[in-house]
């Protein structure tokens, strides 16, 4: 009996499939190693600007690839609306009293992913570096809409303090928004006014919430 048991045992050993690490096996024709894949998903936000398509003419939004991120040039402007500028303008209702507005449309495209709360998402604008002279300032369309402004009264100065909400709450990821921005040139005179090339910086902020 013991002899038969030994024979049986040897036979089973010879026939058995031996598996070692899951990467190798003998006495069989298949092996199945595993690969564990891990990743950490992060929330992501993106806000890009591009040249508008709504107004009659458009000042180009040019990405610099550096700092600042984009530039827009209104060209040569004046408080009486004599110069045509690079895109659109509203002449002062009363020259020498009211401002001339040189403006353009532009597009804002917010994109965000992996956010569970999005209903309060908005975009704000703020003048973070103002012009160095007092007779020019940044303006935006007061309506914060894609409707093309009808006149100079449709524009409001962009805040240099608390950011202005220009879209939302409730903007949609991936959907471009048309807005309007410009410069108002005042008829002021005096020591603080200036001429020549001037620049200011507006910071747009997308907040997903």
> Residue numbers of the site for other proteins (CB under 8 A)?
14, 18, 20-44, 46, 111-116, 118, 173-174, 208
Cβ at position 145, least distance to other proteins in Å: 23
**Least Å from the CB of residue 15 to other proteins:** 10
The answer to whether 36 and 25 have CB atoms below 8 angstroms apart is no
Q: Which is nearer to other proteins, 37 or 191 (CB)?
A: 37
State whether residue 165 is helix, strand or coil.
strand
Beta carbon of residue 70, minimum distance to other proteins (angstroms, whole number):
18
CB of 140 to other proteins, least distance (A): 27
In whole angstroms, give the CA distance from residue 143 to residue 154: 7
Q: Which residues of 133-144 are buried (b: 16+ CB within 10 A; e: fewer)?
A: eebbbbbbbeeb
User: Are 114 and 42 spatial neighbours (Cβ–Cβ below 8 Å)?
Assistant: yes
Q: For residue 207, which of 162, 160, 171 has the smallest C-alpha distance? A: 171
Residue 23 is classified by DSSP as T
- Please give the Cα distance from 149 to 138 (Å, whole number): 15
Provide the minimum distance between the beta carbon of 65 and other proteins in the complex, in angstroms, as a whole number.
16
Q: Which residue number, 42 or 162, has a Cβ lying nearer to other proteins?
A: 42
Nearest distance from C-beta of residue 171 to other proteins, angstroms: 11
Cβ-based nearer residue to other proteins, 20 or 66: 20
Instruction: Decide if 133 contacts 196 (C-beta within 8 A).
Output: no
Q: Which is nearer to other proteins, 69 or 78 (CB)?
A: 69
Indicate the residue among 23 and 76 with the shorter CB distance to other proteins.
Answer: 23
Residue 65: which residues within 8 A CB-CB, separation 6 or more? Answer: none
DSSP state of 154: G
Beta carbon nearer to other proteins, 47 or 80:
47
């Amino acid at each position: 009996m013991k002899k038969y048991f030994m024979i049986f045992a040897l036979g089973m050993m010879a026939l058995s499939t031996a598996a070692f690490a899951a990467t190798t096996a003998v006495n069989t024709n298949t092996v199945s190693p595993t690969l564990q894949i891990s990743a950490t998903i992060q929330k992501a936000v993106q806000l890009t600007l591009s040249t508008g398509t709504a107004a009659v003419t458009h000042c180009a939004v040019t990405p610099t690839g550096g700092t600042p991120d984009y530039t827009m040039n209104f060209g040569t402007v004046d408080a009486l609306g004599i110069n045509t500028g690079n895109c659109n303008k509203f002449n002062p209702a009363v020259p020498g009293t009211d401002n001339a507005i040189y403006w353009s449309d532009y597009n804002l495209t917010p994109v965000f992913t992996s956010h569970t709360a999005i209903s309060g998402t908005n975009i704000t604008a703020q003048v973070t570096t103002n012009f160095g002279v007092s007779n020019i300032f940044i303006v935006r369309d007061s309506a914060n809409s894609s409707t093309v402004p009808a006149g100079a009264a449709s524009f409001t100065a962009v805040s240099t303090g608390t950011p202005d909400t220009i879209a939302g709450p409730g903007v949609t990821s991936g959907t471009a928004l048309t807005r309007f921005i410009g410069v108002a040139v005042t008829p002021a005179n005096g020591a603080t006014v200036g001429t020549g090339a001037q620049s200011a910086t507006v910071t747009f902020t997308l907040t997903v919430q």
